[in-house]
Structure 1
Amino acid sequence: MRQLILDLLPDSPPSLDNFVAGGNAETLTVFTGWLAGVAADTAFCLHGEAGCGKSHLLLASGFRYVDAAHNPALNGVAGDETLAVDNVDQLDADGQVALFALFNQIKTDGGRLLTAAPQPPAHLALREDLRTRLGSGLIYRLQPLTDAEKASAITAQARERALKLPPEIVNYLLRHASRDMRTLSMLIVALDQYTLEQKRPVTLPLLRELLSLEHTE
């Protein structure tokens, strides 16, 4: 099977600069201030629906990143003064005990603990003492980008590449491609490269070809 063109592209690491804030400008300001030490709170919890940018910000923090969905017991996690735990709601019993101890150690060491979950700590099915610790710091909800905000963002990214995206192309991307901004941004890079490779302008048939490459033998 031919490799999907996105797999051939260099992946841009998540950063604060390439995070599309949309309606989260205030949250982003507070978050960057917390990372810089403006706020004294040990813990910062980001919550919101899937695809709203939680993982992006955790990865952009520069903290040691652990995804509890893949490591629910937090095996091998110890001694970090700055720790980011994604999908904290997926911690198993051992992981909850471990994170409680890690929080206390991080607080003693003057470090920072960043977590993300679909809901705020008080609503998570975790140990009460852990919920209390996670809820003792800053808690912010990330708002999902609207389709208009996504359209504006990918149009601007295309413009930076001198790539003109007609409205029907933008609408097709939003309907048929993965709707998270990270993938949409990578698709703009792929589309730019594919138009140069094919020496053809951006059209719906060309976009459909690009999106179907993963199914091409």
Structure 2
Amino acid sequence: MRQIPLALLAPPAHSFDNFLPGANAEALAYLLGLMPADPPVLLWGPTGSGKTHLLQALAERWQAAGQRVAWYDADTALPWELPAHESLLLLDDCQRFDAGQQHAAFALFVASAGQGYTVVATADAPAVDLNVREDLRTRLGWGPSFQLTPLREAEMRAVLRREADRRGLLLGDEVLSYLLTRFERNLKGLMSLLERLDEFAMASKRSLTLPLLKAMLADETGEKKIDSDPIL
């Protein structure tokens, strides 16, 4: 278990204020109305659909209200302990849990039942299709379940422009179109690429242009030039 410092949950990239819901408005509305002791919630969908973003935004919101939050994922070392006081329990990427972590996650469900805790979990598939132990699958599928879908191109453009503006970058149409046509439309990967491009532009003391992007990619792969366009 990791108790999450509020400071780690406050970056603009992980808040409700700058989460663009797209087709995920129903899930967003439900999380905004979530209360202590509500039934467990499962958010599922592919990488880049905003699952972890929503967990971190939810944690920020609850902590800002003075409530406790505990986070568990595949990188959280065992044993997983239930907090001594009522808390928001977050289980991220349940499909990545190994056998010991699946046992620990089920134990959290059992120990927290009827005690005022609230569980919100994420996975890459609905509970019925998850490759986890049956008792954990049953718990994950017991409450409301929301499928999250990636943003459409226009929405993704808006998010990338907003993040570029936040960083003080001028993201031109040429660079933006290159990112969206030559790379997988995975928002998490594209945001990471934009962050690296920001750092590279600062280090190079150059403006954000298509030649700069290609130079960064060549630098990352150790090549003098890019012969083909990579897929993230």
Tell me if both proteins adopt one fold, taking TM over 0.5 as the criterion. yes
Question: Pairwise mapping of residues 46-195 of structure 1 onto structure 2 (< 5 A)?
Answer: 46-62=43-59, 63-68=69-74, 70=75, 75-80=78-83, 81-159=87-165, 163-176=169-182, 179-188=185-194, 191=197, 195=201
Unpaired runs of at least 5, structure 1: 1-10
Tell me the distance in 2 between the aligned counterparts of 1:116 and 1:89. 9
Shift of the 85–209 alpha-carbon distance from structure 1 to 2, 3 Å rule, reads same
Aligned pairs, number: 201
Name the SS for the 2:151 alignment partner: coil
Considering only aligned residues, what root-mean-square deviation do their CA atoms show, in Å? 3.0
Residue 105 of structure 1 aligns to a residue in which SS?
Answer: helix
* Match in the other structure for 2:4: none
> TM-score, length-normalised on structure 1?
0.75
How far did residue 200 of structure 1 move?
Answer: 4.5
Distance 1:213 1:20, change over 3 A: farther
SS of equivalent residue, structure 1 residue 212: helix
More relative contact order in 1 or in 2 (CA 8 Å, sep 6+)?
A: 1
Partner of 1:27: 27
On the 8 A contact 1:42/1:107 being kept in 2, the answer is no
Question: Is the partner of 1:108 in helix, strand or coil?
Answer: coil
Structure 2: give runs of 5+ residues left out of the alignment.
1-10, 60-68, 224-232
Distance change (3 Å), C-alpha of 1:207 and 1:77: same
**2:79–2:104 Cα contact (<8 Å) kept:** no
Give 2:14's aligned residue: 14
In 1, the alpha carbon distance for the partners of 2:200 and 2:106 equals 49
Contact 2:15–2:57 under 8 Å retained in 1: yes
The verdict on how the C-alpha distance between 1:64 and 1:178 changes in structure 2, with shifts beyond 3 A counting, is farther
Task: Work out the CA distance in 2 between the residues paired with 1:116 and 1:184.
Answer: 21
* Rounded Cα–Cα distance in structure 2 between residues aligned with 1:198 and 1:77: 45
Contact in 1 for aligned 2:37/2:118 (Cα 8 Å):
no
CA gap 1:213/1:33 in 2 versus in 1, 3 angstroms: farther
Gap change, CA 1:102 and 1:210, over 3 Å in 2: same
Q: Which moved more, 1:155-164 or 1:21-30?
A: 155-164
User: Which letter does structure 1 place at the counterpart of 2:44?
Assistant: H
In the other structure, the counterpart of 2:226 is none
Find the partner of 1:212 among 207, 214, 218.
218
CA displacement 1:18-69 (0-9 Å, x = unmatched): 33322212211111211xx1x853311010112212122223332322223x
Query: CA offset at residue 138 of structure 1?
Result: 1.5
- Separation (CA, whole Å) in 2 of partners of 1:87 and 1:193: 29
**Given that residues 42 and 111 in structure 1 are in contact (C-alpha distance below 8 angstroms), is that contact kept between their aligned partners in structure 2?**
no
Sequence identity (%)? 37
